[in-house]
Structure 1
Amino acid sequence: MDQQQRTASDWLGLASLVFMWGSSFITIKIAVDHIGPMWLVTIRLIVAALCMIAFAYWKNVRLPKGWREWRAMLFLGSFGTAIPFILVSYAVPYVPSAVAGLMMATIPFQVLLFSLVFLPEEKATPVRILSLIIGFAGVAAIIVGSAGPKTDLAISLIPFALLILATSGYATNGIVSRRMIDMPAMTKSYGTLLVATGTAILCSIIFEPIPTSLSWEGWAAAAYLGIIPTWAATIVYYRLVDKTSAAFCAQSNYLVPTVAVALGALAFGEQLSPLQFVGFFAIIFGLLIAEGVIKRKRRPRLPTPPA
């Protein structure tokens, strides 16, 4: 399937997916000026869940069944969706949206790292270890490059720590999905959204005051996040996976940061330091090594001379 020729609609689907996910960071930055991070996530997920319920009814998508499936949904919905959403919402106001997008490029590396630790069939080859070292060096460059001359590095590390924890939650989704029992992709998405919504509501009620008033900008941003980057992107992603392959859709990991950088520059005039660009390209370079796109050329062996 990976070798088949892609159609224009395949590339259009990938481009729309990249734009929807890439636009979420700038929208979050706008939204948190009008609503607290937790309630922003809660409203976002309620909107997405309502859209998914209507879609599931229309397309006859079943709910997860039994404790084994719902147990997996509890993990994916809470630790793989709701909590990362909350962490990103807390971090984005303190870093450029472009940088938040760049941190998403670390997800494939974390998937690789977790696979080596939790999946016995994955081998810690020298090439994979090298790619991880290069990737972590890239992350370090992005973080260090964000510190200005008068910035307290210890304080500036906090939003990056939140982003790394968030991306770790996203990365564990892939590991848990490989360990869980087989179930339809849309059912998995349906159950995950429902659990994530319940988790976000509970966290918001416990840790953040209920907003008594909300501007139309806050409602609009939360609705956009719920409908476009959360619900619509999920539908496009799973349809694209069914039509093409997971490997084809995984290219979004490399493209989403580019969209986040471009939108951040257009909307807020955000600029990245040269060191942060170096870090981003180091991450991509390490991923290309890990995926086998960049390989060391073997020198041809000369024939053994006759004795």
Structure 2
Amino acid sequence: MTTQSRTFGDWIFLLLLVLIWGSSFTAIKFAIEFFTPFWIAAIRLTIAAILMILFAIWRRVPLPKGKKQWLACAIMGGLGTAMPFMLINYASQFVSSSIAGLMMATVPIQVMLLSLIFLPAEKATPIRLLGLFCGFLGVAGVILGNGSEEATAAAFSLLPFALLVIATTGYASNGMISRNVLEMPAMTKSLGVLFFAAITATICALIFEPLPQAVPWSGWSTVIYLAILPTWATTIILYRLLDNTTAAFVAQSNYLIPAASIVFGAVLFGERLTVLQFVGFGLILFGVAVSEGVIRRRRKKKRQYPPPPSG
């Protein structure tokens, strides 16, 4: 799909994804005090799957058809949704929410590399590569401007970063698989993905972690929030955007998510924002604008000369 076909609604949905997903890292950091990592994923995905099933019954959403669609939903749900949720939750025990958000900036790069193999129609143009580079520099500036002891210590811990990279690879692969099953409606994808993600996360939680016990209402309310907005609602928005735009367009949200997560941290926990972080915000916005063609180099118009006299 070309850049000119972006609608105002596409940008609004992209903004919603950024704000909701940006808040999820702060919510996960809070929920991890009451639940183990896999159970956070299992509970939020199960609630979201139930909501999606009820929504599907109300709207008469069709089920996936054929082995290809069922297999795509199983892979996107198990490897592209449940696995990233569990790994991000586990890594959040050791890193700040801003660092977890930072790793989302690797998704556009992975999407770009994967699209060269699986989506030949979405080529990596030089201007898009420039936008990706500027966006990644902006994210680095945002996180380096944090300057906290926690962020510095986390930079030397390899395991959380490795888990976050694997998680983002799952997200990137979801975009590739979704674009290859365009014949399946977005709501059907959402239903199938949440169904298989809930099953996968619940099985893993039952096998590897004990059942939650004596959780206060504040812990439950956080997980319920994660289930309703960052899981159920954003899954519907995500596959709607993937159907109507491109995987690369949706991946741009991952440059804005770290900025949103730090803003939420500043508002909710009083984290101090530095000048370097504001510079990073500017680079992030510039990178997205360049890669999506919002900022373009104007071509010089050729001067028109009158035709030479004839005869």
Question: Which band: TM-score by shorter chain?
Answer: 0.7 to 0.9
- Tell me the CA shift for residue 145 of structure 1: 5.0
How far apart are the structure 2 equivalents of 1:48 and 1:39? 14
Alignment match, 1:33: 33
Alignment match, 1:21: 21
1:261 aligns with 2:262: yes
Q: Secondary structure at the match of 1:267?
A: helix
- Tell me the CA shift for residue 118 of structure 1: 3.2
CA 1:233–1:129: 2 relative to 1, 3 Å? closer
Give CA deviations for 1:117-163 in whole Å, capped at 9, x if unaligned.
43334434333443444444445545655565794465345434433
Alignment match, 1:48: 48
Contact preservation (8 Å) 1:82, 1:196: yes
- Tell me the CA shift for residue 85 of structure 1: 0.9
- Code of the residue aligned with 1:115 in structure 2: it is S
Alignment match, 1:220: 221
Alignment match, 1:87: 87
Q: Secondary structure at the match of 1:94?
A: coil
Alignment match, 2:175: 174
How far apart are the structure 2 equivalents of 1:4 and 1:206? 44
Aligned-residue RMSD, C-alpha: 3.6
Q: How does 1:162-241 map to 2 (within 5 A)?
A: 162-180=163-181, 182-235=183-236
- Tell me the CA shift for residue 227 of structure 1: 1.6
CA 1:239–1:193: 2 relative to 1, 3 Å? same
Q: Percent identity?
A: 51
How far apart are the structure 2 equivalents of 1:42 and 1:296? 48
- Code of the residue aligned with 1:223 in structure 2: it is I
- Code of the residue aligned with 2:185 in structure 1: it is P
How far apart are the structure 1 equivalents of 2:154 and 2:7? 48
Q: Secondary structure at the match of 1:234?
A: helix
Alignment match, 1:127: 127
CA 1:208–1:169: 2 relative to 1, 3 Å? same
Give CA deviations for 1:12-47 in whole Å, capped at 9, x if unaligned.
766655443332122111110001011011011111
How far apart are the structure 2 equivalents of 1:188 and 1:219? 27
Moved more, 200-209 or 108-117: 108-117
Moved more, 201-210 or 70-79: 201-210
Contact preservation (8 Å) 2:112, 2:124: no
Contact preservation (8 Å) 2:135, 2:255: no
CA 1:192–1:147: 2 relative to 1, 3 Å? same
CA 1:58–1:22: 2 relative to 1, 3 Å? same
1:282 aligns with 2:283: yes
Unaligned stretches of 5+ in structure 1?
A: none
- Code of the residue aligned with 2:94 in structure 1: it is Y
- Code of the residue aligned with 2:287 in structure 1: it is G
Contact preservation (8 Å) 1:96, 1:270: no
Contact preservation (8 Å) 2:187, 2:239: yes
Moved more, 48-57 or 103-112: 103-112
Contact preservation (8 Å) 1:87, 1:162: yes
TM-score normalised to the size of structure 1?
A: 0.79
Q: Secondary structure at the match of 1:48?
A: helix
- Tell me the CA shift for residue 166 of structure 1: 2.2
Contact preservation (8 Å) 1:44, 1:226: yes
Contact preservation (8 Å) 1:109, 1:135: no
Contact preservation (8 Å) 2:145, 2:277: yes
Moved more, 52-61 or 260-269: 260-269
CA 1:289–1:116: 2 relative to 1, 3 Å? farther
CA 1:147–1:35: 2 relative to 1, 3 Å? same
Contact preservation (8 Å) 1:106, 1:139: no
- Code of the residue aligned with 1:214 in structure 2: it is V
Q: Secondary structure at the match of 2:92?
A: helix
- Code of the residue aligned with 1:292 in structure 2: it is G
Moved more, 149-158 or 106-115: 149-158
Q: How many corresponding residue pairs?
A: 300
- Code of the residue aligned with 1:37 in structure 2: it is P
Alignment match, 1:100: 100
How far apart are the structure 1 equivalents of 2:153 and 2:240? 45
- Tell me the CA shift for residue 230 of structure 1: 1.2
- Tell me the CA shift for residue 236 of structure 1: 5.1
- Code of the residue aligned with 1:271 in structure 2: it is R
